[in-house]
Structure 1
Amino acid sequence: MTGTRGTYRKTAQRREQILDAAFTLFAKNGYTASSVNEIARMVGISQTGVLHHFAGGKLALLTAVLQQRDALAEEKLQGKTGRDFLAALVEISRVQAQQRGVVQLYRNLSTEAVDSTHPAHQYFHERLRRIADAVTQSYSEVLLQDGLLPGVEPRAAALNTLAMTEGLEALWLQGMDVDMAEGIRDYINGYLQRPL
């Protein structure tokens, strides 16, 4: 039994090494310009070894990298509604400021994936729709508690909040002196009767 657990642990560690290498390479070169062979070289195994752990090849690696990033953000949002959900969005931006590589990878890949033939196009499309729906729901919950300023429409507020978040990230990546979390907080507060 111990041998099986040891093998499983080694397999899990190798998968993490491969994911880390894929993340690094995708962040540096973008998805399109990266290859499974380069990832394999970074980890010190063969391309066949990478494919043993990620049978879907480069696309499976891309999906795993994106899911790993999203899972961490979703943990912070789990079970939160209304104002608490909006406050958690601010905290996610605060964490992102400590993870430049993650933000840069997401930005690079989301830009590449605007092309409808890109393997991650559907992923990003559905992810943005899911986030927009969740933020809309939160603004709607605040509205039901008379917490929005007069005339604020939840869907428009949600889409504008996402646009502001994406814009601040892009400015920050370009080296502008931007506090993403406080910028998002100020923006959201512009819709609320009572600031976060």
Structure 2
Amino acid sequence: MTTPAADPRRMGKPARVRGPYAKSAQRSREIIEAATTVFATHGYRGGSLRDIARQLDLSLTSIVHHFGTKYELLEAVLERADKTVGTGFAAFDFEADCAERGVAPATLERVRSNLERPELLRLLAILAAESSAPEHPAHDWFIHRYRSKRESLAAAFAFDRSKGRINSGRDPELLSGMLIGTWDGLQLQWLIDPSADMERGMRAFFEWAIPEALSGGDEPRTD
């Protein structure tokens, strides 16, 4: 008796899903990259889905097929940018590097790597300014982002304090807010005028505010 062929649906593994899925994922990445350029140039209000579609020579329907609304696309763009240049992941894990070497060396390393990503930095700067208006679609996203950044850096400074990398009298929450303000401010100045030395400014902040934080060494990573 001949055994009937297995039905892929009953095996829980759809047939021929890898090719179309890979193409769809690639197209989504392309749309996010194009949207990053449009939003970084015109902001969220000034950039349209049609602008993004034109960049890729796609129909508006194709964009909406992958991202149902302009805001869904904005969220995807923001998440990608924040993971790349924020306190998330880039060439190395920022939080893990803070734990390994301390906040100051890890921050200076991130500043150096971010100099190669001006478009993403410009995107976050423009959208952060736009989203200061409570009615902006990204307002809540940026509130959460800054709260998370403050909490993450405060925890990293507290860990530095427990390891003796910074003095025991330092206030991790205060340092966290000061670092974010200094970092964002210097970054904005550099985006406006690339001759501004952002890395030198960040190093000066640590030398002034918590000089002992630099004693662990801050040479660039080679791995």
Helix, strand or coil for the counterpart of 2:44?
A: coil
Contact kept in structure 2, 1:136 and 1:155, CA below 8 Å: yes
Matched residues in 2 for 1:139 and 1:176: separation?
Answer: 29
Contact kept in structure 1, 2:150 and 2:177, CA below 8 Å: yes
Helix, strand or coil for the counterpart of 1:32?
A: helix
Alignment-derived partner of residue 84 in structure 1 = 102
Alignment-derived partner of residue 187 in structure 1 = 205
Helix, strand or coil for the counterpart of 2:17?
A: helix
Query: Does the alignment pair 1:142 with 2:160?
Result: yes
**Of residues 77, 86, 95 in structure 2, which corresponds to 1:65?**
77
**Number of matched residues?**
195
Contact kept in structure 2, 1:91 and 1:181, CA below 8 Å: no
Contact kept in structure 2, 1:59 and 1:119, CA below 8 Å: yes
For the structure 1 residues 5 and 146, does the alpha-carbon distance in structure 2 shift closer, same or farther, using more than 3 Å as the test? closer
| AA partner of residue 181 (structure 1) | E
Contact kept in structure 2, 1:36 and 1:47, CA below 8 Å: yes
- CA RMSD after TM alignment: 2.1
Matched residues in 1 for 2:15 and 2:198: separation?
Answer: 47
TM (normalized to structure 2)?
0.79
The residue correspondences of 1:19-58 to structure 2 (distance < 5 A) are 19-55=32-68, 57-58=69-70
Helix, strand or coil for the counterpart of 1:178?
A: coil
**Runs (5+) with no aligned partner, structure 2:** 1-13, 218-223
**Per-residue displacement from partner, 1:163-192 (whole Å, max 9, x unpaired)?**
110111111012153332342233234314
Alignment-derived partner of residue 12 in structure 1 = 25
The residue correspondences of 1:51-130 to structure 2 (distance < 5 A) are 51-55=64-68, 57-73=69-85, 74-75=88-89, 76-80=93-97, 81=99, 83-130=101-148
Contact kept in structure 2, 1:147 and 1:192, CA below 8 Å: no
Contact kept in structure 1, 2:206 and 2:213, CA below 8 Å: no
**Runs (5+) with no aligned partner, structure 1:** none
Larger radius of gyration: 2
Helix, strand or coil for the counterpart of 1:193?
A: helix
TM (normalized to structure 1)?
0.89
Matched residues in 2 for 1:7 and 1:32: separation?
Answer: 33
